Chain A
Amino acid sequence: MSLFGSTSSFGTGGSGVFGTTTTDSHNPMKDVEVTSPPDDSISCLAFSPPTMPGNFLIAGSWANDVRCWEVQDNGQTVPKAQQMHTGPVLDACWSDDGSKVFTASCDKTAKMWDLNSNQAMQIAQHDGPIKAIHWIKAPNYSCIMTGSWDKTLKFWDTRSPTPMMSLQMPERCYCADVVYPMAVVATAERGLIVYQLENQPSEFRRIDSPLKHQHRCVAIFKDKQNKPTGFALGSIEGRVAIHYINPQNPAKDNFTFKCHRSNGTNTTTPQDIYAVNAIAFHPVHGTLATVGSDGRFSFWDKDARTKLKTSEQLDQPITACCFNNNGNIFAYASSYDWSKGHEYYNPQKKNYIFLRNAAEELKPRNKK
């Protein structure tokens, strides 16, 4: 019973079905499979905020849809609802009260989906696909931030068709993250801009990229006082940079590390270097997870500068990941990310979203 009416022949529906085939490479970690996954690659995942009881997961996909599931405490996933765009959905986020979901699409629009009424309405318009969408809740204003390939970053009051503010960026927006009062946007050509959101959004600083390759994903982390203090930036070259905004000693505090590469110690064969598709920080521990084109996820402790865990290799790249609001659940999506081009795209191949218990594995490493 696939509630989304999937026509995929592999759709087994059910609930929490573990890998039933003999070759289990689609789920080597034996994690919980989300039922009725999207029919094309998953571009984004987001869990509901703590203001809402329970855990609800939304996923946007290249099938133009954004789906919502309820994740129950026993691990069962129940499909709840779905909305459509007219183009692939590239990003999605929740409002702070958990009543609305905002979705951004290649159709150059962003929509606000009211979950109570199951209505979606357009709230934003760009001249190019919208790659990043975030909800900003400031003491004196609330708005949606959209970053697009049209090189603009726009801020929208959802009630008005014209943006509250439009900021020009040097290049196309590739990824962004917001933790009030800070926002970070990484663009094409290795651009990196930090915005401050107090009173009104404004550009704070343009940063020389700590990475030498195309930016792919970014995630802000917080300090012990729960204030945003820096960000992790991932590139297509299997590398993540940890960058503090105001470090005491930048040379020491900022660093990069390699990840998502094959042949770690084997130097005879060329090493395969995979893109880092997404980074997510654990809301409680402050440790981070990275997922890559190599089909693995890894957990890291940036303060101890150690790796906590690397998963087995899935048979598809992992395209998105996120933690739920209390850090108990780690969700990751297995689908094709185009890292090997058009030739390796198989529309028939099933896409998955897995849920893993994250309470233990992401505990920071004890430092001496």
Chain B
Amino acid sequence: MGRKKKKQLKPWCWYCNRDFDDEKILIQHQKAKHFKCHICHKKLYTGPGLAIHCMQVHKETIDGVPNAIPGRTDIELEIYGMEGIPEKDMEERRRVLEQKNQDTQKRKLNQDDSDEEDDDDEPGSSFQQPVARLPQAGFVPPMTQPGFLPVRGAPGIPPAGYSGIPPMIPGVPPMMPGLPHGQDCPKTSLWLLLTWIGFVFLPPVIHPSVSHRPGITHMPQVPSVNVLTRPAVPAVVTPSAQPDITKPLFPSAGQSQQTVSGSPHTPPSTTSDTPKPTFPAYTQSSAAVASPNADTSTVSKPPSAVTSKAATLTTTSATSKLIHPDEDLSLEELRAQLPRYQCSIRQNTPTAPSVAPAAVLPPQQLPVGNPIPGQFSGPLRGLPGYVPGQMLPFVQAHAGIPPGYQGGPSRPPMGVRPPVMSPGGRY
């Protein structure tokens, strides 16, 4: 991999836009990620091949290439490695990489030593330290070995490496003020890079032409390694570090009434009350979260699965399985449906619901709520030898009171008023 030009482009996967060092690796990736049958896990060679296999062997149709980014899911396109990629997509890719290259050239001029090519001594050594410093991140070392360093691997990488940060992260200044140039930069940036990449955080910035490393199989959405070097990472860290002293969290109450009534869904208008910049319509989140589905695809069609009433979730996919019951209810709602968790007032027949205070209970118990004089922190050990258990006709803590409880803290033992339960209801 010492060639400067590989057909002018490093091998990249048309389906998910990831970069690879070698076409062989690219093909392995495609076979494992895009051309793998979700039923029998057989690896096919092409998209159409997968479709045919599913049809013939499992009698199932598939409508898109698995783990592909939106717009690139066409199952009919016969793409194998770099072959078969439509020309316009190739051009688009070239253009984007060009742009990244240009920015990299600019940056290279500013450096004292261009060490990205093959000089791997210093960055290499600095590389080890950060890894040692992060024992917690168990998977950092294996991940960072392959091709992370700009110095290893093809020289074509580094220029693409310090790629267009402006296009990647809108609003981030291209250069971190005060960041020293020269030798220090690669180390610092690499270490920061490692810390950020090395953990399962997915920044919401997704750019289709971001180049990816093969090692990061489970974090494809992380912007290119290279993007996060030098300016980007410190710049990323900075905004969150800057305290927002003057800006109120909410506009004052009077104003807030207006903003709320006006437009709950249009951020620009609500932020007009705040002095600081408006923030763009928050669509990155949906874009950012859509792509994780391409990789971990737990729910095939999230919006439709979640919005229908009494729906079920799709909890299983080829790559992952959601450990959750299928119904689209919360775990507590599901559990509360059980008869044993229905309000036990109905089981309380042995001891009459309205009882005189302190009189109530099965012999061996003290009522929990009895006004026991003394400090709360005092010796309350003698308290409730209370028999727990859902099914027991446990005693109500206090005397029952007639329904329609009247407030007033001064009132002596107040109990639960017999709750109005809907028998057999959902709750």
Contact = CB atoms under 8 A, between A and B. Distances in A.
A106 to B, nearest CB: 5
B316 to A, nearest CB: 8
A159 B376 contact: no
Given A160-B407, A256-B204, A367 B282 contact: no
Contact of A106 (B319, B341, B415): B341
Contacts of A122: 405, 414-417
B109 interface: no
B218 A339 contact: no
A213 B298 contact: yes
Contact of A250 (B249, B282, B321, B372): B282
A5 B384 contact: yes
Interface hub of B320, B324, B342, B387 (most chain A Cβ within 10 A): B324
B166 to A, nearest CB: 13
Interface stretch (B52-60, B88-96, B115-123, B272-280): B272-280
A55 to B, nearest CB: 12
A198 B253 contact: yes
Chain B binding surface, main DSSP class: loop
Contacts of B257: 202
A87 B199 CA distance: 41
Interface stretch (A17-25, A26-34, A272-280, A352-360): A272-280
B128 interface: no
Contact of B289 (A129, A211, A275): A211
A251 B205 contact: yes
Given A83-B369, A251-B204, A340-B323, A182 B239 contact: no
Interface string A210-249: 1111101000000111011100000011010100011111
A213 B315 CA distance: 11
A82 B384 contact: yes
Q: Which of A81, A109, A237 has the most CB of B within 10 A?
A: A237
Contacts of A111: 416
Interface string B260-283: 100011010011001011011010
Contact of A271 (B276, B296, B302, B325): B296
B237 A303 contact: yes
Given A198-B252, A259-B200, A83 B368 contact: yes
A174 B330 contact: yes
Nearest to A308: B136
Q: How large is the interface on B (under 10, 10 to 19, 20 to 34, 35 or more residues)?
A: 35 or more
Nearest to A36: B388
Given A6-B388, A161-B407, A83 B397 contact: yes
B250 A307 contact: no
Contacts of A261: 320
Contacts of A65: 388
Contacts of A254: 204, 282, 284-285
Given A82-B383, A275-B324, A339 B286 contact: no
B195 interface: yes
Contacts of B411: 121
Contacts of B239: 247-249, 252-253
Contacts of B288: 210, 255-256
Contacts of B332: 43, 90, 129, 131, 338
B244 A223 contact: yes
Contacts of A228: 249
B8 interface: no
B390 A84 contact: no
A273 B296 contact: yes
A103 to B, nearest CB: 11
Interface in B373-387: 375-377, 380-381, 383-387
Which of A87, A116, A131 is most buried by chain B, counting CB atoms within 10 A of its CB? A87
B338 interface: yes
Which residue among A111, A224, A272, A368 has the maximum number of chain B CB atoms within 10 Å of its CB? Answer: A368
B241 A303 contact: yes
A34 B188 CA distance: 45
A171 B332 CA distance: 15
Contacts of B409: 114, 121, 158-159
Contacts of B342: 87
A128 B171 contact: no
A252 B390 contact: no
A305 interface: yes
B80 interface: no
Contact of B419 (A84, A107, A257, A267): A107
B341 A87 contact: yes
B7 interface: no
Interface string A177-211: 00001100000111000001011101111111011
B387 A5 contact: yes
Residues of A in contact with B, size category: 35 or more
B372 to A, nearest CB: 6
Contacts of A293: 323-324
Nearest to B280: A250
A275 B323 contact: yes
A305 B199 contact: yes
A254 B289 CA distance: 12
Contact of A246 (B274, B306, B404, B405): B274
Interface string B318-339: 1111111100111111111010
A76 to B, nearest CB: 13
B125 interface: no
B413 interface: yes
B331 A337 contact: yes
Contacts of B290: 212
B244 A257 contact: no
A264 B244 CA distance: 36
A161 B343 contact: no
B322 A237 contact: yes
A73 to B, nearest CB: 14
B32 A267 contact: yes
Interface in A104-146: 106-109, 111, 114-123, 128-129, 131
Interface string B386-427: 111110001111100000111111010111110111000001
A49 interface: no
Contact of B380 (A81, A264, A304): A81
A351 B97 CA distance: 56
B349 interface: no
B427 A62 contact: no
A8 B141 CA distance: 46
Q: Which 10 A-B pairs have the closest CB atoms?
A: A121-B414, A199-B253, A196-B250, A257-B201, A251-B284, A115-B376, A271-B320, A212-B302, A338-B331, A87-B343
13 contacts: A5-B388, A54-B377, A84-B394, A86-B396, A117-B376, A128-B427, A161-B405, A246-B279, A249-B170, A249-B171, A250-B282, A256-B292, A270-B318
